[in-house]
Amino acid sequence: MNVFTRAAPKKGENFELRSDLNSEYRDKRKDAIKRVIANMTVGKDVSGLFPDVLKNMQTEDIEQKKLVYLYLINYAKTQPDLVILAVNTFVRDSDDQNPLVRALAIRTMGCIRVEKIIDYLAGPLQKCLHDENPYVRKTAALCVAKLYDLKPELVLENGFLEQLREMISDSNPMVVANTISALSDIHTAATSQPSTSSSDPAIFNVTPTILNKLLIALNECSEWGRVAILSALARYQAQDEKESEHICERVVPQFQHVNGSVVLAAVRVIMIHMRNVPREDFNKQLIRKMAPPLVTLLSSPPEVQWIALRNINLLLQKRSDILSNEMRVFFCKYNDPLYVKVEKLDIMVRLSNENNVDALLSELKEYASEVDVDFVRRSIKAIGQAAVKIEAGAERCVNVLLDLIATRVSYVVQEAVVVMKDIFRRYPSTYEGVIPTLCANLEELDEPEAKASLIWIVGEYANKIENADELLSVFVDTFTEESYSVQLQTLTAVVKLFLYKPDSSQGLVQRILNTATKDCESPDVRDRAYIYWRLLSTDPGAAKSVILAHRPPISLPRTTVAPALLNELIGEISSLASVYQKPAATFIGLGRIGVESMQHRGTDLADSAKTALQTVAAGQAAENLLDFDDEPAQEGPTGLAATQVLQQPAAKNIMSGTSTNPLDDLVSIFGNTSLSSGAAIPSAAPAIDPLGGFGVVPAATAAPSTASNQQEDLLGLF
Amino acid sequence: MVRAFFIYNQKGELLISRLYRPDVRRTIADVFRIQVISSSEVRSPIVTLGSTSFFHVKINNVYVVAVTKNNANAALVFEFCYRVISICKSYFGKVDEERVKNNFVLIYELIDEINDFGYPQNSEIDTLKTYITTESVVSSQIVAEESSKITTQATGVTSWRRADVKYKKNEAFVDVVETVNLSMSAKGTVLRADVDGHIQMRAYLSGTPECKFGLNDKLVIDKSERGAIDAVELDDCRFHQCVRLNEFDSTRTISFIPPDGEFELMTYRATTNVKLPLRVIPTINEIGTTQVTYLIIMKTGFGNKLSATNVVLRIPTPLNTTSVDCKVQTGKAKYVPEENVVVWKIPRIQGGQEISFNGTAQLTSTTTRQVWARPPIDVDFQVLMFTSSGLIVRFLKVFEKSNYHSIKWVRYLTKASGSYQIRVSRNNFLGNIGLTFTA
């Protein structure tokens, strides 16, 4: 369809636009350009107007120039032959007396990724790198990175890299910052290629001389420049302890910056360089200075807050003393978004201790009466974690849980039961007094986890609960209908009961072993039943020592990520890796990572992956969609992705739009699928009519088969 | 870094689309629409699909979205999104679909200027306004000279100030604005109280003035004149980029060359000795299942000469409330069914006053027994010439080559909006601690 619009826009909007673009009135032309940009934004194809827009490039009006440039950046690729017409204007602009125009020209040329333009770029870029105006220089510095991205050999041939290195000594801090950004960008690009040797000129390593220049520029440049410089400092390998100390001292003032990303970047540098300083008092002082700015980040907008909270969570795993007296600032506000609240809960538990457990519990209890079910459950879980963590506060935690159970709100009760199980595992035979209350709620439980937890408790204390056999027999009766985890717990609990009270529960254990080995679908349950059965029949003494064995109490892990990974993530503070709390390789690059390479890194994914894994898994389906090329779509996964599109009402926009988007073609093919298979049935129907006397049966079979054939054909197309 | 930047409306239609890097394609915009805008699940502000991450901020009825492909600096990306929003606000007031559509040319110009190849560039609003204007600029000899000045300033050491500022009357206004965050239990225990302070400055000073600013900061006071003035303990301060951070770090002096016009000099946080301007003591009883009674007493915490204005209390009512009978001596109280609150507005309370609210809510009987979540009571107010933290501006000195005389004005304001909350929970667990078990 694109071909048609390009060839002969006889009428319609593009035709109108074309005539306006060629109008003799300046205002009309400018207005037309604006409309072209508007159409471009919504995804309409206006590439056919390329020559007409290009005519308006040479103008005194900077705003108009910018608009034309914007258009060029978008469509240069589709019209590589015509772009050459723009080169002259670009080259002339890069010599303009107005520095804004010079910078604009060099900035835009770098964004136009057409071979012909690139060949003309070297000259103007060379000049602009030495421009007297710093604004032009800082733009030119980034342009080198753009050029490297497209044609590295051109950068090397023209010696742009050496020039960039010299620019680190520029008198203007903004130029220094952009130079650092450009060099780092080139460095990343160069090192991501496997064949890079350490002598590659593109490698940018911070040397002690550069370090000094960076530390000076740090205090003078803009906020974003500071982040760039701080990231470079984070990569620097300090020569000795003294140098690390020096860096820390120079970076600490950045904690007071109003921009949260500067603060986090400074935290990152300090955490990295602190490792080289063995003096604990020095480190303690840094940590003390770090706390207030971290807390201040909590008054940022929720998204920034969330990033800060995720990073604080990591920092606490590394240095638990950072915010030791600050638990209260993490109390949730009623109107915080859920993702912020959940993070705060986790940090509150981390910061809890004997002294503040009361304040924590009254907060958590408050949260447990809120409306959001997910948040309520997490709050109750947090109570359990606090109980497991703080022995002195466990009794108060149990009391709060009892209060919550008394509310008889179904999900609250169920979560509380699950949590109680963990408390029993941590403090065996301490809170047996609450068992009757728990058992009283037996009928209200409908979630497998809650049921399984309660059954475990009953089995564990079967010798102390008088009516344990009664309670368990209810579950034995419904054994085959229960979910797998409940079955396992019931089986174990009944066997425990039997070992405690062999006389009264012989019948029960017989029944359950029978059911589990004969009528049960789950192989795990069946195998476990067999093991128990054989143990019991051959050596009851051994059975007792196995099944009623003493188990060590559980404890709350201090870290959620493996130590090696934690160190890596601390070095990545404020990045996505620190937010997801997993190594960057798991979610960038191809979006997947092999088990071997993970083991190779000595990290343990299992703990941290939970949340992030979902996103990645979801992403893998969409990956094909993301890595779409402009080439025609291929088979299999693309089709899958396209069906996903079809389910969404938003896809209508794509269908009605006339963009060059390859999705359109797919959507229209799929649109045809339903249409053509729909059409197949009526066409089959009249064919049956003459055979009417033969009855309906062949007709009914004929129609679907035609339809399915049709579909198969279509599938074959992919 | 930032690979692409989009603004969508609520339906997921693109209003602004700018790709900064060649490795992202236009189709990526569709992915965000399909995966995030059209899907109804609750989700985090970052969504990573494959190797692409979408950072989004929702404001009014538009989504501001930044796209990255590598292990990007997440804090930077969000700060950038918020900066774009604040720049847009200062250019055209409010960020919503209509205004984005009306100003799209300007927005393109802005996002092109403040980000190059994914790296954020100068985004000082005052400086941007000197060369990105809403009127079109025609390049000519004069403009070229002007631009040369602008660009030097935009990249210079004092990128926030032009050198040639001149005023007949040299004045500086300092506004200390404190927002109190309070979370108080039903029994009146303060669970959390802190102050977010902003010091807003409007400087109309000629030349390149060197300013020194002094507060009753405890760390400074303790060093010099012991106990002469009540000092405040500031937990943390953050400064506008014009303030010399290393100087503050070593001697705690705040010295700077201010931008011309209005800017936020510093923000601070204080948590010790927070004076609460208003105390609210609620008594809320559920009588059976058909009635809830309210008695709310409010006392002031400041002197007789001051007063709180624009006081608004939002008192929660159960979801099945049919009507509320309100009795107040001061102000007006009204039941707002759509928000399930009684809004009690008091135009002014003088210091030392005590006022109360009496009310009864009638409930319809419901078949399902649903627990009322009891959201907190929320109080909004403003108190002029009062700071909750006790912060005082001790001096503002201006030094300039020409040695002119300058006039300084200081104002204080303490306020709360949406963050001053008093809980009205049913029971306090601490009372039940003595519970005994039967084993």
Instruction: Measure in Å the smallest separation between the Cα of A148 and chain B Cα atoms.
Output: 12
Q: What is the mean pLDDT of residues B296-316?
A: 91
Banded pLDDT at B243 (limits 50, 70, 90) = confident
Q: Which two tokens stand for residue A315?
A: 């920092």
Instruction: Measure in Å the smallest separation between the Cα of A31 and chain B Cα atoms.
Output: 11
B241 pLDDT higher than 70: yes
Q: What is the mean pLDDT of residues B144-169?
A: 73
Among residues A149, A133, A76, which one has the least CA distance to residue A108? A76
Give this prediction's pTM: 0.79
Size of the A and B interface in Cβ pairs below 8 Å: 346
Q: CB distance from B178 to chain A under 8 Å?
A: no
3-state SS string for chain B? CCCEEEEEECCCCEEEEEECCCCCCCCHHHHHHHHHHCCCCCCCCEEEECCEEEEEEEECCEEEEEEECCCCEHHHHHHHHHHHHHHHHHHHCCCCHHHHHHCHHHHHHHHHHCEECCEECCCCHHHHHHHCCCCCCECCHHHHHHHHHHHHHHHCCCCCCCCCCCCCCCEEEEEEEEEEEEEECCCCCEEEEEEEEEEEEEEECCCCCEEEEEECEHHHHHHCCCCCCCCECCCEEEECCCECHHHHHHHCCEEECCCCEEEEEEEEEECCCCCCCEEEEEEEEEECCCEEEEEEEEEECCCCCCEEEEEEEEEECCCCEEEEEEEECCCEEEEEHHHCEEEEEEEEEECCCEEEEEEEEEECCCCCCCCCCCCCEEEEEEEECCCCCCCCEEEEEEECCCCCCCEEEEEEEEEECCCEEECCCCCCHHHHCCCCCCC
**What's the confidence (pLDDT) of residue A22?**
85
Inter-chain touch B140–A60, beta carbons under 8 Å = yes
Banded pLDDT at B51 (limits 50, 70, 90) = confident
Nearest-Cα residue of chain A relative to residue B437: A433
Instruction: Measure in Å the smallest separation between the Cα of B402 and chain A Cα atoms.
Output: 26
The whole-angstrom separation of Cα A622 and Cα B53 is: 12
A550-564 as b/e: b if 16+ CB within 10 A: eeeeeeeeeebbbee
Main-chain dihedrals φ then ψ at residue B431, nearest 5 degrees: -70, -20
Inter-chain touch B74–A173, beta carbons under 8 Å = no
Residue A257 three-state SS? strand
Helix, strand, coil % (nearest 5) of chain A?
75, 0, 25
Inter-chain touch A363–B74, beta carbons under 8 Å = no
Domains delineated in chain B: 4-123 (3.30.450.60), 171-274+387-420 (2.60.40.1170), 278-384 (2.60.40.1170)
Q: A145 contacts in B (CB within 8 Å)?
A: 117
The whole-angstrom separation of Cα B21 and Cα A148 is: 13
Inter-chain touch B78–A304, beta carbons under 8 Å = yes
Inter-chain touch A133–B28, beta carbons under 8 Å = no
The whole-angstrom separation of Cα A532 and Cα A545 is: 12
Pairing between β-strand B62-68 and β-strand B236-239 as defined by DSSP bridges: unpaired
**What's the confidence (pLDDT) of residue B157?**
63
Q: CB distance from B248 to chain A under 8 Å?
A: yes
Assess contact for B328 and B294: CB atoms under 8 A: no
- Residue window 198-227, chain B: list those with CB within 8 Å of chain A: none
Banded pLDDT at B81 (limits 50, 70, 90) = very high
- Residue window 342-371, chain B: list those with CB within 8 Å of chain A: 371
Q: In this predicted model, what pLDDT tens digit does every residue of B256-269 receive, in sequence order?
A: 988 888 888 999 98
Residue of higher predicted confidence among B423 and A681 = B423
Q: CB distance from B13 to chain A under 8 Å?
A: yes
Least CB–CB distance from A588: residue in B38, B70, B155: B70
Least CB–CB distance from B34: residue in A253, A402, A644: A644
Q: Which two tokens stand for residue A470?
A: 């009664």
Q: A173 contacts in B (CB within 8 Å)?
A: 157
Inter-chain touch A100–B121, beta carbons under 8 Å = no
Least CB–CB distance from A650: residue in B38, B155, B249: B38
Instruction: Measure in Å the smallest separation between the Cα of A68 and chain B Cα atoms.
Output: 11
Inter-chain touch A174–B122, beta carbons under 8 Å = yes
Inter-chain touch B374–A369, beta carbons under 8 Å = yes
Least CB–CB distance from A107: residue in B50, B116, B371: B116
Nearest-Cα residue of chain A relative to residue B26: A661
What is residue A410's DSSP assignment? H
Q: In this predicted model, what pLDDT tens digit does every residue of A374-420 receive, in sequence order?
A: 999 999 999 999 999 999 999 999 999 999 998 888 899 999 999 99
Inter-chain touch B28–A362, beta carbons under 8 Å = no
**What's the confidence (pLDDT) of residue A233?**
94
The whole-angstrom separation of Cα A341 and Cα A331 is: 8
For chain A, list residues with pLDDT below 70.
1-11, 194-199, 589-718
**What's the confidence (pLDDT) of residue A246?**
93
- Residue window 293-332, chain B: list those with CB within 8 Å of chain A: none
- Residue window 128-147, chain B: list those with CB within 8 Å of chain A: 131, 136-141, 143-144, 147
Inter-chain touch A396–B139, beta carbons under 8 Å = no
Q: In this predicted model, what pLDDT tens digit does every residue of A60-100 receive, in sequence order?
A: 888 888 889 989 888 888 888 888 888 888 888 898 888 88
Complex ipTM more than 0.90, yes or no: no
B111 pLDDT higher than 60: yes
Inter-chain touch A185–B418, beta carbons under 8 Å = no
B420 pLDDT higher than 60: yes
**What's the confidence (pLDDT) of residue A606?**
41
Least CB–CB distance from A258: residue in B37, B185, B240: B240
* Residue of A2, A47, A72, A100 to mutate for B, most B C-beta atoms under 10 A: A100
**What's the confidence (pLDDT) of residue B134?**
64
CB atoms within 10 A of CB A643: 11
B205 pLDDT higher than 50: yes
